[in-house]
A and B are shown apart, each in its own frame.
Chain A
Amino acid sequence: MEEINYHHPHKVYVSVKAVFYPDGGFKPVSFIWEDGQEYEINKVTDIRRAASLKAGGAGIRYTCRVENREVYLFLEEDRWFMEKR
């Protein structure tokens, strides 16, 4: 089937670096925002399934502390996205 691509200005797909643990599981440690800058994730405070009405999508939502701000990082199937303010 032809893949339908959805474009939305508030949805930003990002590159993510992650650590994979030997006992399974993983944790995102940084991401590269659309301006090309890499941001370190200081802490992941919450992980749950969630939809993003703002960006338009659904997946596993990581609540992250980045530079003292709280941001959401979504894993949708095999792609990561974030919400643009």
Chain B
Amino acid sequence: MGDRVILHADLNNFYASVECLHRPEIRDKPVAVCGDPAARHGIVLAKNYPAKATGIKTGEVIWQARQKCPQLVVVPPNYSLYLRFGRMARSIYSSYTDQVEPFGLDEAWLDVSGSTHIFGDGIRIANQIRERIKSELGITASVGVSYNKIFAKLGSDMKKPDATTVISRDNFKQVVWPLPAGDLLYVGRATGHKLARRGISTIGDIAGTDPGYLRSFLGKWGEVLWSFANGHDSSAVVHQGEESLIKSVGNSITAPRDLETDEDVQMIFYVLSESVAARMREHGFKCRTVQIQIRDKDLFSFVAQGKFLRPAYVSTDLAEKAMELFRDNYSWSNPIRSVGVRGCDLVSADSHEQLSLFEDEARRIKQDKIEATVDVLRNRFGHFSIQRAVLLNDNDLRTINPKEDHIIHPVAFFKEGRLP
């Protein structure tokens, strides 16, 4: 069998590009899309090239960015618009293949091996996609073409904006190996330091190091990175099965103020659980596992998860489980800045389930009905038309509407962070 043809498309400066399209008057100025400082999301989410040229980095606080560039134009994010543009890009991708794996809103892998006899080789398809994104969406994309996902992604990062980069079996040693190790997917800061301390600074260095040695200080990931660096990645581009795309449903939020008591956290858990539960119901899922993510004000963070005896999609169940996990795992060494709840191990909601002898089944059915009714009310009259009494205790916290305020997490490269 021949090599696969994998594309990785990256919409350049996505949020900033969409804003600049809609605001022609700021196109040539340095622009940063920033969160709302009042809600403590006041960081740079995206920037355009003029802003990048002044040294502004994503994740910086607005005032830091302003110091580097006093004439910076700051605009608020418009997620529903970005979702629309993400959808339009995806519909372009899916006219070339049904194997499209989104990675966040602005990136996607495409396996076009099966359609090269219709549309031409990978480069041709990449160029067609770029042209269409330019003319139909009015923004630009960089596309990497290779025989595996890792190199395709590296390719899309190499030439920006609006360019196609090919990484083949013939040229990857010249093209990929001189790149810094940190460019490789999954070499973050910590791994980068560990590598650097041992004199491994480029991707070529990783490729040339004995995988057993890498394993000795990086664990299993050592071998994975070694195989990435040598182009041995064979992970598949996930088929675009409608709902199968969804592996977990989660929501997290940076609270408008630091959380200091169990009650504060519980309130947020309720808010988040309601949104997670509503979204699971929307897609017809129940979850078998709940995961919580806590980050304190010094940005120390941890994740804990626990299983249900039976799959659940009722917010009360999620919130109670989340609270139980929280109590077992956190000792209040610090106030908390952000909190997340996630339902994992999804199963279809209409599958059969084992009833319990020791629980009040009538009450469960009532709970289901209540939540379904709340969904209907909120769809018709808005999120704040009905709320839990527990939320009335705090005006700052109860105004959070996580379902519509949409925080978008990229889909994990490996399912649930598991190794391939």
If A57-B22, A77-B84 touch, whether A4 touches B138 (CB-CB below 8 Å) is: no
| Complex interface: chain A residues within 8 A of B405 (CB) | 1
In the complex, whether A58 has a CB less than 8 A from a CB of chain B is yes
Q: Is the CB of A1 within 8 A of B80?
A: yes
Q: Which residues of chain A have C-beta atoms less than 8 A from B80's C-beta? A: 1
Where the two chains meet, the residues of A that have a C-beta atom closer than 8 Å to any C-beta of B are: 1, 4, 6, 8, 10, 48-58, 77
For the complex, give the distance between the alpha carbons of A42 and B323 in Å: 65
How far is it, in angstroms, between the C-alpha of A1 and the C-alpha of B81 when the chains are bound? Answer: 11
A50, B133: Cα distance in complex, Å: 9
User: Within the assembled complex, what's the spacing in Å between the Cα atoms of A23 and B24?
Assistant: 39
B412 is an interface residue with CB less than 8 A from chain A: no
Q: Which B residues are within 8 Å of any A CB, using their own CB?
A: 21-25, 76, 78-81, 84-85, 88, 134-139, 401, 404-406
User: Cβ of A10: which chain B residues have Cβ within 8 Å of it?
Assistant: 24
Cβ–Cβ contact A58 & B21, under 8 A:
yes
Contact of B23 among A6, A49, A50, A58 (CB under 8 A): A6
Evaluate contact between B24 and A51: CB separation under 8 angstroms: no
Q: Is the interface of B mostly helix, strand, loop or mixed?
A: helix
The residue on A at minimum CB distance from B84 is A77
In the bound complex, residues from chain A placing their C-beta under 8 Å from that of B134 are 51
Whether the pair A56, B406 counts as a contact (CB closer than 8 A) is no
* A56 contact from B21, B76, B88, Cβ within 8 A: B21
State how many angstroms separate the Cβ of A46 from the closest Cβ of chain B. 13
Residue of A nearest to B401 (CB): A1
CB-defined contacts of B138 to chain A, threshold 8 Å:
51-53, 57-58
Which of B21, B24, B76 interacts with A4 by CB under 8 Å? B76
Which A residues touch B76, using CB under 8 A? 4
A58-B85, A58-B88, A58-B138 given; A8·B25 CB < 8 A: yes
The distance in angstroms between the C-alpha atoms of A53 and B79, with both chains bound, is 20
Contact across chains for A49 and B136 when beta carbons are under 8 A apart:
yes
Residues of chain B with a CB closer than 8 A to A4's CB: 76, 78, 81
- Chain A residue at smallest Cβ distance from B24: A56
CB-nearest residue of chain A relative to B25? A8
B84 to chain A, nearest CB (A): 7
Evaluate contact between A1 and B406: CB separation under 8 angstroms. Answer: yes
- A1 CA / B84 CA spacing, docked (Å): 15
Q: Assuming A1-B405, A4-B76, A4-B78, is B21 touching A50 (CB within 8 A)? A: no
* Cβ of A57 to closest chain B Cβ, rounded Å: 6
Given contacts A4-B81, A8-B23, A57-B21, 8 further A-B contacts (CB under 8 A): A6-B22, A6-B23, A51-B21, A51-B137, A51-B139, A53-B21, A58-B21, A58-B136
* B404: contacting residue among A1, A50, A57, A58, CB under 8 A: A1
CB distance from B158 to the nearest CB of A (A): 25
- Docked pose: A48 CA to B334 CA in angstroms: 56
Q: Name the A residues within 8 Å of B406 (CB-CB).
A: 1
Q: List 19 A-B contacts (CB under 8 A).
A: A1-B79, A1-B404, A1-B405, A1-B406, A6-B22, A8-B23, A8-B24, A10-B24, A49-B88, A50-B136, A51-B136, A51-B138, A52-B138, A55-B24, A56-B21, A56-B24, A57-B138, A58-B85, A77-B84
